[in-house]
Structure 1
Amino acid sequence: MRNEFQNREDAGRRLARRLTGFHTGDVVVLGLPRGGVPVAAEVAAALNAPLDVIVVRKLGVPFQPEVAMGAIGERGVRVLDGELIAALGITPAQIDQVEEKERATLAHRSALLHSGSEGVDLTGHTALIVDDGIATGATTSAACRVARALGAARVIVAAPVGGPDAVHRVRDADEVLCLIQPRDFRAVGEHYRDFDQTSEAEVVEHLDNARRRMAGEHR
């Protein structure tokens, strides 16, 4: 079956219904920009939790960029698929070249979304990392390591859909919740009727709305 979700907002609402046990004061919901943020916004609203982002970037194979050989994140985090890199004969110099380009994009996006800071302080909190899907597990694993570096006491990953192998590869989380794990998984977008790209402006809007919501609740 395909197109299980109408759009990212629908996926977020359905995911939130499975996360009611995290309706506690220590949870911070963290979306992975850009596509994970609309999903995370619905989860954060349902849990009355703050919303922030962890910025990560896929490292694509040099001659086939859509295939992930790893991922990078804030705080200097890097996750590599050693088996794939060895099988394809990718050199350290090639990895460094791809990473240099992606680090520049990561720095730009991080500055935009964190307003120049290094991100939320997660010390003592449960980090609930949300994406619109888990395709390889590389970016999700990188996000988990960033959350640990930011002081998270516990790291939970939640996504509407993912490949079973990819979900299994997310070993840096204390728990992974994935609603749908098709054995014939090919791509995240196949499971959404509307999978248009999320813009940076939309991400900023979701973050601003969440901050206003939290400010209103604490008046």
Structure 2
Amino acid sequence: MIFSNRTEAGRLLARKLKRYAGADAVVLGVPRGGVPVAGAVAADLGLPLDLVMVKKIGHPHQPEYAIGAVSLSDRIIVPHDEVSSEYIEERTVAIREKMAGQYQYWRGDKPAPTLQGKIVIVVDDGIATGNTLMAAVKLLRKQMPAKIVIAAPVSSEQAASQLAAMADDLVTVYIPPHFRGVGAWYEQFEQLSDEDVRQYLAAFEKGSLS
């Protein structure tokens, strides 16, 4: 199965999420590529749209290896004897400052949504390893939502299995038997800029998404 673009993929995903239409819920897109998918989902379900801001903290000697993750207001850390608390604090501050700047650029002065007691639907354009979304689930739990739903048009089998065990609901359109990377399942899979995200969110607020 090949999706034409992220918007089409989002509309197909929305059909799988119809049970949440009109619920006390919020759709959170994973920047950058997850935002157009999330926008299509939110528009079709009649739900508000915002962003989930989560970044990993890499190991000082192996940056690709995550030792924790940071959101705008919280963090999770897996203790490592060889990693100092000073390093963790330094990376937390640096990552959070960058994320806060991005969020303000994308959303202006609009405050982050209150998630307590709400159904939170986290949407990305695809799931390869699932590491970012697994960190997002752990951090979102701290805000006491009623339910966490992870949704994406396409996912690897391994990531889907892991996320299904962590989230309250996992929704996908397609789980291929041989996963080749997220972009392989789209005809159009352009890289989005910060300005693209900003314009897309503004268009959603105006109800003028194409």
TM-score range relative to shorter protein = 0.7 to 0.9
CA RMSD in angstroms comes to 2.9
Q: Select 2:54's aligned residue among 45, 52, 56.
A: 56
Q: Judge conservation of contact 1:79–1:142 (CA < 8 Å) in 2.
A: no
Partner of 2:104: 111
2:178 corresponds to 1:184: yes
SS in 2 for 1:156: strand
Q: Judge conservation of contact 1:129–1:156 (CA < 8 Å) in 2.
A: yes
Q: Judge conservation of contact 2:16–2:172 (CA < 8 Å) in 1.
A: no
TM-score (norm 2): 0.81
State the Cα distance separating 1:162 from its structure 2 match.
1.3
Q: Judge conservation of contact 1:75–1:149 (CA < 8 Å) in 2.
A: no
CA distance in 1, matches of 2:13, 2:132: 19
CA distance in 2, matches of 1:73, 1:186: 29
TM-score (norm 1): 0.78
Q: Select 2:140's aligned residue among 147, 151, 163.
A: 147
Task: Report the identity percentage.
Answer: 36
CA distance in 2, matches of 1:169, 1:102: 26
2:196 corresponds to 1:202: yes
SS in 2 for 1:75: coil
SS in 2 for 1:92: coil
State the Cα distance separating 1:137 from its structure 2 match.
1.6
Partner of 1:217: none
Output one character per residue of 1:65-111: Cα deviation in whole Å (capped at 9) or x when no partner. 6x55354323222366x9xxx9xxx9425974766654443232233
CA distance in 2, matches of 1:181, 1:42: 20
Q: Select 2:159's aligned residue among 160, 166, 177.
A: 166
Output one character per residue of 1:199-219: Cα deviation in whole Å (capped at 9) or x when no partner. 2222222222333339xxxxx
Q: Which runs of 5+ in 2 are unaligned?
A: none
CA distance in 1, matches of 2:96, 2:40: 29
Q: Which runs of 5+ in 1 are unaligned?
A: 215-219
Q: Judge conservation of contact 1:12–1:38 (CA < 8 Å) in 2.
A: yes
CA distance in 2, matches of 1:167, 1:77: 23
Partner of 1:92: 83
CA distance in 2, matches of 1:100, 1:140: 21
Q: Judge conservation of contact 2:157–2:176 (CA < 8 Å) in 1.
A: yes
> Partner amino acid for 2:184?
E
Partner of 2:21: 23
State the aligned residue count: 204
> Partner amino acid for 1:131?
D
> Partner amino acid for 2:185?
H
Partner of 1:130: 123
